[in-house]
Structure 1
């Protein structure tokens, strides 16, 4: 049985075991499994289980409802929060972001099918090993980002996944599977349904990502043009210089925004940043630095 590169925290193992003792399946799942396989330290340890939310709440002393409508309960243990979510099947996504309704299931594979990419659709239990019906481990080993099932459907369900796809490529240095890339390019207009706050969060992670050579995927796909046509034209015209400068720039959010926006019309920068819902402190610092650069 393959071993994870990073040990699961004992508290997370304890939660898995308590759910198992209650007669339920339980696994760590998603990004924490992916990062562990890659030898990266997970930020969160998410757990998926066959237990219904009400059953989860009866097993643990300290919980609170995070998103009980969607099956998520937060278990608090030693001042740490662990999200425990019931296996579920998502309904329609009318807003291209959240399912209108969910139904609970007892089948792990049905829960994994609703996830975005194969590398994020892997479950793991210390005693059972990996549950990986969509071959996510193989894609991680090959450095490929591949949509689970039909990638077009995954993007149409949640349009933010398109930005996440590009951001993961730049963070991990992975290539995007051709079918997934074609589906992304065909659905870029759906990004307009996503809130500016969520788009900004993904862009900021992208600006800070270590594989700057993957950043052009943002505008080559047509995705950036749907977010802001002026910025897209600016980065396309200055792509080579941008990549060189951003690779040399300290990993600082303000400085990276300045590099990205240095050829943006100076009189329109504040409007763009306000539209991205950037905090006022960062907005002022970026605007001042860009004004000095253009002086």
Structure 2
């Protein structure tokens, strides 16, 4: 097998030329063997961190205490980590003791799953000590060593495992499933930010329904914020997540099927960014009023085409409209958007200053009401988008509203 990680070649060559062992390790090897896109390329070596720093011109000491140095090469960053073993995880995340090793074997033994305990040398030879390649062929997910021990070291491995089930379509081993069920409560020890990262990837996986079943059936869900008393209804497992295109859409589908409507409380508990809170809240608001929703120029203008498409994808994913119906609605939304005379308030040839001058009044609540009504009149074609026509409309509108000002 040829060495497939060309961008990392200069790093391995330099380490080897100076008498050190060096291998590409972990997810990059796994994804290459599975034919998946390769993202980060991590390297493990017998060289100590100070030796790595000496050998390369541009480095960043990202985790010297754990033996990791980032090597910058041709605009990319590669994490180069010294062979190591780990002992004790009192905080359920960081090892109490890290020991630099001279053996690749010891380094691979500390990894979480067999499919991640793979290394490749400069010749393209794969080092597989725990049957990771066989597990990939069988689509099995097993831990390296005793499942309960691996999980107790870092309980996030349960979420990572369930995420791998979603992303790879693998099945969890029986020992691992039993360990997940037994140790699920330990997820409470993990920061919600790390949980959230794994959930985002889980919800975006190709076999997300299988992963969600595993999440709830093992009891791992009960250790997650605000999901402790939540029972997954069968409709959750039939959601067409493959139709959804954004984090917000996937979270909206997840929460809707669980019957969770208090987005403010949920987003706070999960420490969501404001942008996600807003997008999920808007989606669920529109979805909750979907029966009253009739897409026309003004509703598409008000929501924007992106949100309108998201609403329709959510409805289809929840099984409330068909895929064919989704396609028809998306074509309608695009056509209505194309026909809108303006795409935003800034395209109006007048501003609030014009309306104030024409009215001879002080600014007040009437101003925002006038502008909102003006937008609707222009978008629906009842008023031409030119200043004189708008002025005539405004003077007539003001006359009708004068008793309210």
Fold equivalence (TM over 0.5): yes
**How far apart are residue 159 of structure 1 and its match?**
0.7
Whole-Å separation in 2 of the counterparts to 1:143 and 1:248: 21
Contact residue 92 and residue 152 of structure 2 kept, 8 A: yes
Provide the secondary structure at the position in 2 that maps to 1:82.
strand
1:96 to 92, 103, 106: 92
TM-superposed deviation, 1:290? 1.6
The answer to whether residue 212 in structure 2 is matched with residue 221 in structure 1 is: no
1:271 to 243, 259, 265: 265
Deviations 1:168-219 (A, max 9, x none): 0111000111111111111101100110111011111111111133121011
* CA distance in 1 between partners of 2:122 and 2:267 (Å): 45
State how far apart, in whole Å, the 2-side matches of 1:173 and 1:203 are: 16
Matched, 1:257 2:254: no
Task: Structure 2 unaligned segments of length 5 or more: list them.
Answer: 290-405
Secondary structure of the residue that 1:216 maps to in structure 2? helix
Q: What is residue 152 of structure 1 aligned with on the other side?
A: 148
Alpha-carbon distance in 2 for matches of 1:231, 1:251: 28
Work out the CA distance in 2 between the residues paired with 1:163 and 1:53: 30
Residue 287 of structure 2: aligned partner: 293
- Provide, for residues 82-108 of structure 1, a one-character-per-residue CA deviation record: whole Å limited to 9, x for no partner: 000000011211111111220100011
Q: In the alignment, what sits opposite 1:27?
A: 23
Contact (CA 8 Å) 1:66, 1:73: kept in 2 or not? yes
Matched residue, 1:37: 33
Judge conservation of contact 2:192–2:270 (CA < 8 Å) in 1.
Answer: yes
Note the C-alpha offset of 1:65: 0.3
Per-residue deviation, 1:243: 2.8
Unaligned runs of 5+ in 1: none
Larger relative contact order, structure 1 or 2 (CA cutoff 8 Å, min sep 6): 1
Distance 1:270 1:120 in 2: 37
Asked if structure 1 preserves the Cα contact closer than 8 Å seen for 2:86 and 2:99, the reply is yes
The within-5 A match list for 1:127-138 is 127=123, 129-138=125-134
Measure how far apart 1:232 and its partner are: 6.1
1:254 positional shift: 0.6
Which segment drifts farther, 210-219 or 193-202? 210-219
Distance in structure 1 (CA, Å) of the matches to 2:97 and 2:242: 46
Q: Is the 8 A contact 1:246 1:256 kept in 2?
A: no
- Quote the Cα distance in structure 2 between the aligned partners of 1:151 and 1:109: 19
Alignment of 1:121-132 (within 5 A): 121-127=117-123, 129-132=125-128
Give the secondary-structure state (helix, strand or coil) at the position aligned to 2:9: helix
Larger Rg over CA atoms: 2
Matching of residues 185-204 of structure 1 within 5 Å? 185-204=181-200
Paired with 1:52 and 1:248, the residues of 2 have a C-alpha distance of: 45
- Residue equivalent to 1:166: 162
Separation in structure 2 between the aligned mates of residue 52 and residue 264 of structure 1, nearest angstrom: 52
Partner of 1:47: 43
Local SS of the residue matching 1:187:
helix
Separation in structure 2 between the aligned mates of residue 253 and residue 229 of structure 1, nearest angstrom: 19
Match in the other structure for 1:77:
73
Secondary structure at the aligned position of 2:61 is classed as strand
TM-score, normalised via structure 2 length: 0.68
Alpha-carbon deviation of 1:229? 5.4
Whether the 8 Å contact between 2:25 and 2:119 is mirrored in structure 1 is yes
Q: What is the alpha-carbon distance in structure 1 between the residues aligned to residue 227 and residue 141 of structure 2? A: 28
Query: What is the alpha-carbon distance in structure 2 between the residues aligned to residue 92 and residue 35 of structure 1?
Result: 29
TM-score (norm 1): 0.93
